[in-house]
Structure 1
Amino acid sequence: MEILAIRAGQLLLILLLAVLIIGGLWFVLRFRRTMLLLGGRDIADGQVADAVVLFSEEHLGSYLQGETYYTFQVHVKPARGRNFVTEVHVLREQLTRIPQAGDRVSVKYNYAGRKRTVVLNLDSISAV
């Protein structure tokens, strides 16, 4: 009986560790998603460019405290350099008007290594 008690204790310990690891991974992924959605505030020294919204999608009840957010696929046309297409995530509460496909917007972007950080200039949304 003592052998079964030790194995049951070990099984309980393994189960507890598995729950802690899965909970930690879930928290890290949720925190990463939150930082991606709220990111872009440190882009003050970025470059301004014109962009056209190619695609707009609403995500109801995201993992960010149940808030609705939008994903926009934009075609950025910088003054210098190559044009590029990227996705931008914006919380619903930050939008006064929701850009639709074909709308022209102003964006601010910055290069961080190989990845571009792009933020919509929400005051410049106008229909084509």
Structure 2
Amino acid sequence: MEILALHSKQILLILSLVLLIAGGLWIAFRMRRTLLLLGGGNVPDGQTAEAVVLLSEEHPASYLQGDAYYTFQVHVKPVRGRNFVTEVHVLREQLKRIPQAGDRVSVKYNYSGRRRNVVLNLDSLPSV
């Protein structure tokens, strides 16, 4: 009987560790999404380029903030270097007009290691 009690304690310990790790990963991914949404201010001295919106997708609410946001897939055409496709996340309240697929927009981008940080140039979007 004591052997069964020892095994049940071990199983309980393993399950609690698995739940703790899963909870930590869930929180980390949620924080990453929030940082992506709010991280647009880190490209103040980036390069300006033209881009074409390939996809515009609305997300009704994020889990942490409760605000609606948009994901835009854009094809960036820099003056120098290779063209690239990336995703840009923008909070709904920051947009005067929502760009649709095929619209040309201005973006700012900055290279940081192997990753490109890209934000929509919100001043270039015309009002409705």
Measure, in 2, the Cα distance between the counterparts of 1:9 and 1:75. 55
Number of equivalenced pairs:
127
Residue in 1 that maps onto 2:100: 100
Aligned AA (1:11): I
Range with bigger deviation, 22-31 or 77-86: 77-86
Contact between 2:96 and 2:125, CA under 8 Å: does it hold in 1?
no
How far the C-alpha of 1:124 sits from its partner, in A, is 0.7
Aligned AA (1:77): K
Q: Percent identity?
A: 74
Residue in 1 that maps onto 2:122: 122
Shift >6 Å, 4+ stretches: none
Q: Residues 74-113 of structure 1: matches in 2 within 5 Å?
A: 74-113=74-113
How far the C-alpha of 1:50 sits from its partner, in A, is 1.8
Superposed CA deviations along residues 71-127 of structure 1, whole A, max 9, x for unmatched, are 112222222223222211111122121111232221110011222110001121149
Contact between 2:96 and 2:126, CA under 8 Å: does it hold in 1?
no
Aligned AA (1:24): G
Measure, in 2, the Cα distance between the counterparts of 1:8 and 1:86. 49
Pick the structure with more strand per residue. Answer: 1
Contact between 1:103 and 1:125, CA under 8 Å: does it hold in 2?
no
Residue in 1 that maps onto 2:71: 71
Gaps of 5+ in 1: none
Pick the structure with more helix per residue. Answer: 2
Contact between 1:105 and 1:121, CA under 8 Å: does it hold in 2?
yes
Say what the alpha-carbon RMSD is for the aligned residues.
1.9
Measure, in 1, the Cα distance between the counterparts of 2:82 and 2:126. 24
TM-score normalized by structure 2? 0.86
TM-score normalized by structure 1? 0.86
